[in-house]
Amino acid sequence: MISRQVSERIAFGVISLTAVLVILPIVGIIAYIVVEGAGAISWSFLSEMPRDGMKAGGLLPAIIGTLALTVGTAIVAVPIGLGAAIYLSEYSKDNATTRAIRIAIINLAGIPSVVYGLFGLGLFVIFLNFGTSIVAGSLTLGIMTLPVIISTAEEALRAVPQSFRLVSTSLGGTRLQTIRRVVLPQALPGIITGIILGIERAAGETAPILFTAAAFFLPKLPSSIFDQTMALPYHLFVISTQVPGMPLQIQYGTAMVLLTFVLSLNLIATLIRRYYRQKRVW
Amino acid sequence: MTEDQPSSSGIGAAQGVATSSRGARAPSGSLAERLIGRAIQVTGISTVVMVVLIFAFLIREGLPAFVRVPLSSLLSARWYPIEGYFGLLPLIAGSLIVTVGAALIALPLGVATAIFIAEIIPDWARDILKPVVEVLAGIPSVVIGFIGMLVIVPAFRVALDIPTGLTAFTGIVLLAWMALPTVVSVVEDVLDTVPKTYREAGLALGMSRWQTIAKIVVPAGKSGILTALMLGVGRAIGETMTVMMVTGNAPRLPSSPFDIFQPARTMTATIAAEMGEVAQGSTHYHVLFAVGLTLFVITFAINMAAAMVVFRRTKRAERMLS
């Protein structure tokens, strides 16, 4: 029989090797895209319209479209998500309504993104007659983002010590005053982190905007929120699968721009979380 | 108390706190205050309304499919919408094989990675690796599909010596990898909740660290690992872009569950690839919604089951602590 020490060494070795093998490609994929795509990046790549059937020129309409969808998503998801989180953390009692809300959030988190796309098509594009548009896409992405925002914001609100609320209440503060002046400011960094993470996910999504907002190619920028728009994730899909003879460098460059946008949101969220966790006195 | 589900982006769930004690005794205040309180309640309830709305619209657009296409045709093995063949079996089989395969690979890899991060490496390394794993959750699936197409697909074709690298297997491998952040974060949370005294008891009895992990910590977190499996499955079955880009999209019925080195097509990829081209209100349109409805029902069931497991675990933890 092998000794405890040897078996431990073998087991830890196997586990460490496995972990390294799955973690390394994460760094690898990012590094690879940067190496292959960096050559395509230039000011004109970011600031010009595509030319020659998208085989030359820049990404401007896709970048603007993704920014518009991101802002739209935030406008839809932040008020509802924050409200729902405050309700769950500060108001709700342990009753059937609360359980229904929790079940709803769990399920919203699990619905496949392409099914959100179908829903957006059915409700916003067709039934409400918004057409394939920035509005329809933002609403679809916004609803999809809700569970992320709600669960992180609720976690941040619950992390505020109960004694803070008791002190506020004992000084004569009403529940709303307590929430607004004591709980929310304390939980704000956590809430912002959650919002950024939710929006980051929406910014990189393709399936929900396929039939609700995205256009294959547009010769000019959208002029209203009821116009369709190009978007970075869908553009990457289009140029890598639908356009024959697309220069590889443009494909990698597009992937790099998308990845940079999404991962910088991720980085900002991580930094905020880390900074305030260290600063926190309770 | 709560059935919080750790979110897929790797943020732990709110720990269960008795909801009823939160600010319950604060005075309710003025009319304005009560109105705002009411508005906040409405936003909470709106989440339920949204799930109902999603379900309602999928039914509204999906049910006509079952009226227009006979059930025997829907359950046939041929998906060729242009000629009116709407057999869903190849799509269901494609989703099933890719999802189950991905989950089977993701679970051991995820558990190993979680043990590595939570139990083996020192704190400073954990502070670096945890965000790296979370970054994976942030990489858009279209980017992973893109790299899959350009790098993984040709590599598999050569390495496995098969006619095309666009196979179910390619999808399985990439999906398993993508499901990792979900599995790792759930399992890590669970390992965290196993009381320290359990470990100390193991070590005090002369067990090695590994024996303590394998015989005490992991078994104590069994239900959480089950949750991780279900959430991983839920994530894999809904994945669209990566699967569409690397599995070849041939709607064929696999000859056996191990027939994974050939092209396959999932339900999600079918919707994404075809919905853009169908006429609104056509049979094809309604059938695609029916596929979406099926996906909704499956993920709903998986998530409810996962929630039940979490719910029971919390109950048990409360008993143990009391």
What ipTM does the predicted assembly reach? 0.92
Cβ atoms within 10 A of the Cβ of A236, count? Answer: 28
In chain B, % of residues over pLDDT 70: 87
Residue range(s) defining the domain that contains residue A99? 59-279
Q: Which amino acid is at B292?
A: G
- In the predicted model, what is the mean pLDDT of residues A230-238? 94
Contact B21 A102 (CB under 8 A): no
Judged by average pLDDT, the poorest of A11-15, B77-81, B96-100, B228-232 is B228-232
**Two structure tokens written together for A271:** 């930094």
Over the stretch B48-75, which tens digit does the pLDDT of each residue have? 999 999 999 999 999 999 999 988 888 8
CATH code for the domain of A148: 1.10.3720.10
Q: Tell if the CB–CB gap between A14 and B112 is shorter than 8 Å.
A: yes
* Structure confidence at residue B254 (pLDDT): 82
**Chain A touched by B44 (CB under 8 Å):** yes
Domain membership of residue B40 (yes or no) is: no
Let me know if residue A11 belongs to a domain. Answer: no
Q: What integer best gives the mean pLDDT of chain A?
A: 91
Distance separating alpha carbons of residues A135 and A143, to the nearest angstrom: 12
- Alpha carbon dihedral B14, B15, B18, B19, in 10-degree steps, equals 0
Assigned domain for B38 exists: no
Domain annotation covers residue A5: no
Six-digit token string for A154 = 């609720």
B16 pLDDT higher than 80: no
CA gap A129, A25 in Å, rounded: 44
Q: Which pLDDT does position B14 carry in this prediction?
A: 38
Higher pLDDT, A55 or B133: B133
Q: Determine the average pLDDT of the residues in A130-155.
A: 94
B233 touches chain A (CB under 8 A): no
Residue B316 pLDDT greater than 80, yes or no: no
- Assign B85 to helix, strand or coil: strand
pLDDT band (50, 70, 90) for residue B20:
very low
Q: Give a yes or no: residue B290 inside a domain.
A: yes
Is B9–A206 a contact, with Cβ atoms under 8 angstroms apart? Answer: no
CATH at residue B177: 1.10.3720.10
User: What was the pLDDT predicted at B23?
Assistant: 46
Residue A76 pLDDT > 70:
yes
Confidence of residue A92 (pLDDT cuts 50, 70, 90): confident
In a domain, A193, yes or no: yes
- Report the alpha-carbon distance of residue B37 to residue B42 in Å, rounded: 9
As a whole number of angstroms, the distance between CA B161 and CA B180 comes to 28
| Number of domains chain A contains | 1
Q: Which residue has the higher pLDDT, B84 or A70?
A: A70
Q: Do A110 and B53 touch (CB under 8 A)?
A: no
The answer to whether residue B49 is domain-embedded is no
In a domain, A238, yes or no: yes
What pLDDT band is residue B13 in, cutting at 50, 70 and 90? very low
B18 in any annotated domain: no
When pLDDT is averaged across residues A187-215 and rounded to a whole number, the result is 92
**Is A54 inside a domain boundary?**
no
**Total structural domains within chain B:** 1
Interface contacts A/B by beta carbons within 8 Å: 330
Provide mean pLDDT across the span A229-245.
92
pLDDT for the residue numbered B1: 34
Residue B274, pLDDT above cutoff 60: yes
Q: Kindly indicate the confidence band of residue B2, based on its pLDDT and cuts at 50, 70 and 90.
A: very low
Phi, psi of A205 (to 5 degrees): -75, 140
With respect to residue A39, please indicate whether it lies within any of the assigned structural domains: no
Alpha-carbon gap: B211 to the closest alpha carbon of chain A (Å): 7
The pTM for the full model equals: 0.89
* % of residues, chain A, pLDDT over 70: 99
Residue A22 lies in a domain: no
Is B14 within 8 Å of A158 when comparing Cβ atoms? Answer: yes
pLDDT at residue A119 above 50? Answer: yes
B133 close contact with A: CB closer than 8 A: yes
User: From CA A15, how far away is CA B230, in angstroms rounded?
Assistant: 22
Q: How confident is the model at residue B29 (pLDDT cuts 50, 70, 90)?
A: low
Structural domain containing residue B221 = 69-321
B279 near A CB under 8 A: no
Query: Is residue A200 domain-resident?
Result: yes
